[in-house]
Each structure stands twice: as structure tokens, then as C-alpha cells.
Amino acid sequence: MRILVLGGGAREHAICWKLKQRDRLYEQPIETKIFCAPGNAGIAQVAEIVELIPTDVKAVVGFAMRERIDLVVVGPEGPLAAGVADALDKERIPVFGPRRTAALLESSKAFAKEFMQRHEIPTARYAVFSFEEQIECRAFLRHVNYPAVIKADGLAAGKGVVICETEAEGTHALDEIFTHRIFGEAGARVVIEEYMEGEEASVFAVTDGIDYGLLATAQDHKRILDGDRGKNTGGMGAYAPAPIVTEAILEQVRREIIEPTLKGLRDEGRMYRGVLYCGLMIGEGRARVVEFNVRFGDPEAEVVLPLIDGDAAELFLACAEGRLAETLPIKQFPASAVTVVMASQGYPESYQTGEAISGLEAFTPNREIEEGIVVFHGATKLDERGRFLTSGGRVLAVTAVGFRDDLRETIAQAYNAVSEISFNGAYYRSDIGKKALKAMAAA
């Protein structure tokens, strides 16, 4: 099979790695050829790097046709919002990722809220205002309950959300979005919503638009500092499965969130073949939707994908070709996984790049098999002597897959691996997974 993966972070490294593992699964030797655009130096160990911009839809389709690609797997949301799945579909190239009209679930928060309201999917109450409706919007802010949440409608790289404690903070946020246009076009409309109390977790459904299967549940750590303090980031670590998502909650999520969402998409003619990421707030024994993403999370992918017991390429292809029922149920390893992100000092604000990374040589395929340790690269490049250098904010996602369902042990495994790696200014959180231990102790 020839597969093209779009994207270039640790999530895409995990996707390529998982796809490549199918070569070990069959008795007759098979060879899976993986291409990744734009990839990074770590991904180059498992895939051939292609110099393509993933949002350049024409170039992606051209490459896929020339190289007789059997499956395209889309990592980030940008290419989906740009219509890459629509264009590939037109050429009958199987693609794991939804069409543009379905990707709106992530690319427009106003669309997502209206969709959830139409299909009675539990979420926070909300109102939408455009730039032209500023007077009404400011009046609305006078009467809402605080804290309130203000969100830019469009894609803002995870930064478009402001939690406001007072009306003054709300008005300030609005000035920033509408007058100073800090989110640009993404802030042409805002969603104002009720603040939900609880704990966040994510559920991932892979689907061909009709049938679906669940992957492991996960919990991200979005804040930069231990104890969930400090600035929001893309995610500083994750673990799976998340004990806060109990069987009862998962059942509610299937019935009240995933099934009505897939049915709603179908009824509205929005073709969805890919993974639906349900970001949930869990409180008072039930889950409500915080956000939908139309792709895997980063760093959630790094813990969810290693737990799939089987051929992920066949699973994604079955979704892309509308025959998922053939591969259900999806088997999972009865294990836990933990990933710790090693970031550049200063992230999520400004930071240095080009720092030499030491210790990576020790992570051989043997250790992967014997110890369940794998280091996914988020932002690395090679220097002329073949050493890995840092090239971005989230540099590495150091991942441990426990052989037993013992999260405490898996956390220790991941941090042991982290301690073997160093670069100037390396920063990581030291409490990834602790929340789960607390939840389990309380249960």
C-alpha cells in the first residue's frame, strides 16, 4: 500500500509510525510505502519526505495521482478546511478526513454550535454575533452570567478562546477581536457561551459516515505549567485511556453525541470519513461538547494510536472506502499510554531553535519492542553532521506504552525516557497523568 500523510508534527510522526507497523503484522512479507508532507527529521525515519504544502490542494492531488497513492491520511485541520478531501474524492483517491462542509464542525465554531442545537446535542448555551452586531453583542455581555466564554468563530490555532470573569474582561476581549482584529478573519464573528464546570476529556470515533468505532479515550494537558496553570498551549502531554470517561459516560456519549452527530451530518449531506474528535466537559455525571475537531489531536494521537491492536492502514482505508463495518469491532491493547512533550523554553511564546538534542540515539527499535518506548518528533531537523536540532516549540513527544494496564508504571516509564534526552532550554511538565491517578484513587 502507498500512503500519503499530510502534516509535520508529532501527531503525524505517530500516524506514520502506526501505519508502518502493519508490515510486522502479516505472515507474508508486505511493504507499506509511506510519504509525508512536509514531515520532519524524525518522520524521515519511517516515511519519505515530500516537499509539499498540505493546504495546496492542487499540489496534493497532483502528487497523489502521479505516485499512485492508495490512501491519503490528513493530520491537521487546515487542509480539510481548504477542501483537500473533496478534491481527492473527485479523483477517486481514498482519503481519511472529512469533506469541507463537514470540516466546518471545527473550522467554524458558530456552525458547530448551530449544528449541535439543530440536532439536540448537549453543549453550553450560546449566542453568535457578527462584526456588524457589536452593539447587540455589548448589550448581551451586560446581562450574561460570569464567567463567560468568548470564542473567535474561525480557526485560530487553539488560541481563539477567552474565559472572562467579568463584563469588563468580556468587553476587552471583544475590543481585541473586533477592533484590533487579533484573530484576523477568524474573528469576524464571535460565539459567546456559558462556562461549563467539570473536567475535560476526549473521545475519538473513526467513521465512514455510517458506521463508527471508538478508539481509546484520552486526556490532554493544555496549560504550560504543572497543576494546569499558566498559558494555553497546543498540548503538553496526554495519556490514554482516561478513567474519568466511565462506561456509563461513554454510553451517554455514544447515544447523545456521536450517533446524533453522524446522523445529522448524513441528513445534511456532509460526507464524513475520518476521525471525529469530541472534546468533552464532564461534570455532574454527564458529558457535554466543548468542541469538535475533525482530525486526531496532538498530543492525543501519540497515545491513542499506539493502543490500536491491529492494522491502522486497513482501518483508515476501510473508513475512506465506506466499508468500515468489515473491520469492526476495533481491538485495543489492554494497556495504557503516556506521552510527555519536551518543548523549547519560552513556548508558547517566543523561543530559540537550532539547539542540538542529545540522547536520541539510545531509542532503538529494540527498546520500542522490549520497553514500549517511542519518541515522536514534533519539530526537529538535521544539521550537516546528521545531528538532530530543535526547530519549533513542541520538539518531542516522548511516549511510553505500558504492557499492563498500570498507569503509574507507564508514567514512570515515560519520565525515565525523558530523563535520557536533553537540549538547551528543554522544558516539560512533570505531572502528566497525575490527574488520572487521582480520579482512580477517588473511584
Binding site residues, ligand GLY, CB under 6 A: 158, 220, 234-235, 293, 297-298, 300
The answer to whether 10 touches 394, Cβ cutoff 8 Å, is: yes
The answer to whether 20 touches 32, Cβ cutoff 8 Å, is: yes
In the range 109-138, which residues lie near ligand AMP by CB under 6 A? Answer: 124
Terminal C-alpha separation, the chain: 45
Does residue 300 belong to the site contacting ligand AMP (CB under 6 A)?
Answer: no
Among ligand AMP, ligand GLY, none, what binds residue 302 when CB lies within 5 to 8 Å by partner kind? none
3-state secondary structure of 166: coil
3-state secondary structure of 137: helix
Does residue 149 belong to the site contacting ligand AMP (CB under 6 A)?
Answer: yes
Among ligand GLY, ligand AMP, none, what binds residue 116 when CB lies within 5 to 8 Å by partner kind? none
Cβ proximity to ligand AMP: between 121 and 124 the closer is: 124
Rounded distance between C-alpha atoms, residue 357 and residue 8, angstroms: 18
Among ligand GLY, ligand AMP, none, what binds residue 415 when CB lies within 5 to 8 Å by partner kind? none
Q: Indicate the pairing of strand 229-232 with strand 237-240.
A: unpaired
In the complex, minimum distance from the CB of residue 406 to ligand GLY, in angstroms, rounded to a whole number? 25
Among ligand AMP, ligand GLY, none, what binds residue 235 when CB lies within 5 to 8 Å by partner kind? ligand GLY
In the complex, minimum distance from the CB of residue 157 to ligand AMP, in angstroms, rounded to a whole number? 10
Cβ proximity to ligand GLY: between 64 and 201 the closer is: 201
In the complex, minimum distance from the CB of residue 368 to ligand GLY, in angstroms, rounded to a whole number? 24
Among ligand GLY, ligand AMP, none, what binds residue 200 when CB lies within 5 to 8 Å by partner kind? ligand AMP
Q: Tell me the residue ranges of DSSP E strands in 237-350.
A: 237-240, 274-283, 286-293, 337-344
Cβ proximity to ligand GLY: between 41 and 156 the closer is: 156
Does residue 290 belong to the site contacting ligand AMP (CB under 6 A)?
Answer: yes
Does residue 411 belong to the site contacting ligand AMP (CB under 6 A)?
Answer: no
The answer to whether 193 touches 145, Cβ cutoff 8 Å, is: no
- Binder to ligand AMP among 291, 302, 311, 355 (CB under 6 A)? 291
Cβ proximity to ligand AMP: between 158 and 230 the closer is: 158
In the range 162-201, which residues lie near ligand AMP by CB under 6 A? Answer: 193-196, 200
In the complex, minimum distance from the CB of residue 138 to ligand GLY, in angstroms, rounded to a whole number? 30
The answer to whether 294 touches 103, Cβ cutoff 8 Å, is: yes
In the complex, minimum distance from the CB of residue 26 to ligand AMP, in angstroms, rounded to a whole number? 39
Rounded distance between C-alpha atoms, residue 366 and residue 29, angstroms: 20
Among ligand GLY, ligand AMP, none, what binds residue 297 when CB lies within 5 to 8 Å by partner kind? ligand GLY
In the complex, minimum distance from the CB of residue 148 to ligand AMP, in angstroms, rounded to a whole number? 9
The answer to whether 99 touches 271, Cβ cutoff 8 Å, is: yes
For the chain, the 3-state helix, strand and coil shares in percent, each to the nearest 5, are 35, 25, 35
Q: Is 38 left (phi over 0), alpha (psi -120 to 50) or beta?
A: alpha
Fill in the DSSP letter of residue 422: B
Cβ proximity to ligand GLY: between 39 and 234 the closer is: 234
Rounded distance between C-alpha atoms, residue 59 and residue 205, angstroms: 29
Cβ proximity to ligand GLY: between 211 and 302 the closer is: 302
In the complex, minimum distance from the CB of residue 75 to ligand AMP, in angstroms, rounded to a whole number? 18
Rounded distance between C-alpha atoms, residue 384 and residue 387, angstroms: 7
Among ligand GLY, ligand AMP, none, what binds residue 161 when CB lies within 5 to 8 Å by partner kind? ligand AMP
In the complex, minimum distance from the CB of residue 103 to ligand AMP, in angstroms, rounded to a whole number? 15
Burial class from Cβ neighbours inside 10 Å (0-12, 13-18, 19+) for residue 91 reads exposed
Length of the chain in residues, anyone? 443
Element (H, E) at 373: strand 373-377
Rounded distance between C-alpha atoms, residue 292 and residue 276, angstroms: 7
Which residues of the chain form contacts with ligand AMP (CB under 6 A)?
124, 149, 151, 158, 161, 193-196, 200, 222, 279, 290-291
